[in-house]
Amino acid sequence: MGVAQNPTTTLPRAGVAQGQKTGSFGVVTTTLDQAVNWGRTRAMWPMLFGLACCAIEMMATQASHYDMSRFGMELMRASPRQSDLMIVAGRVSRKMAPVLRRLYDQMPAPKWVIAMGDCASCGGIFNNYAILQGVDEIVPVDVYVAGCPPRPEQLLHGIMTLHEKVMQEKVFTR
Ligand code: SF4
């Protein structure tokens, strides 16, 4: 049985397949790793907490002008059990360190950590006994964002860097 032809349809240019011309490829191939990681990077829910001045920039990143929603991240969760991204926004005092570690432990795997700002990354200007000289002393950090404070563009760059990293992960080995 023949396929009905639209008489107004023009022939594709040389080198362009008919499927490309109409946009209907019909079949998509991918790997399980890529499919799962694509889902993870498009629905990464950050935990809702801030420690110091960097948190103001994190709030600005979430607000309408910068709009983290476009990454599927509009839901900042108030519970670690519903979060898979911890953005450590600000300096971490030694008194706060066990609390932060407990929150990390309560997050379901897989989970990721961004150290936002100089204080979270290396203690910043607070080179003293009361402040952790980097949150990587107590939790594994995936991405460090430099700055005091980092601008929202820098945090967004850190998030996109994390997405690139997650896309390289092996789903069943983490
Ligand atoms: S890096 Fe700067 S802005 Fe961020 S918490 Fe430290 S002092 Fe505050």
Q: How do residues 104-141 score in pLDDT, each as one tens digit?
A: 999 999 999 999 999 999 999 999 999 999 999 999 99
| Distances 8 to 5, 11, 70 between C-alpha atoms, Å | 9, 10, 38
pTM, two decimals, is: 0.82
Q: At residue 111, what is the residue type?
A: K
Indicate which residue's Cα is closest to atom 1 of ligand 1: 148
Indicate which residue's Cα is closest to atom 2 of ligand 1: 148
Host H or E run for residue 88: strand 85-89
Q: What is the mean pLDDT of the chain?
A: 86
Range of the domain at 107: 49-167
Give the total number of structural domains in the chain.
1
Pocket test for ligand 1, best of 49, 51, 54, 57 (most atoms within 8 A of CB): 54
Is 29 within a domain?
no
Is 10 within a domain?
no
Is 173 within a domain?
no
Q: How do residues 7-26 score in pLDDT, each as one tens digit?
A: 444 555 555 555 556 666 67
Q: How far is CA 112 from the centre of its chain?
A: 8
**H helices present in 107-151, as ranges:** 117-122
For residue 118, what is the domain's CATH number?
3.40.50.12280
Buried b / exposed e over 1-24, threshold 16 CB at 10 Å, is eeeeeeeeeeeeeeeeeeeeeeee
Is 63 within a domain?
yes
Is 110 within a domain?
yes
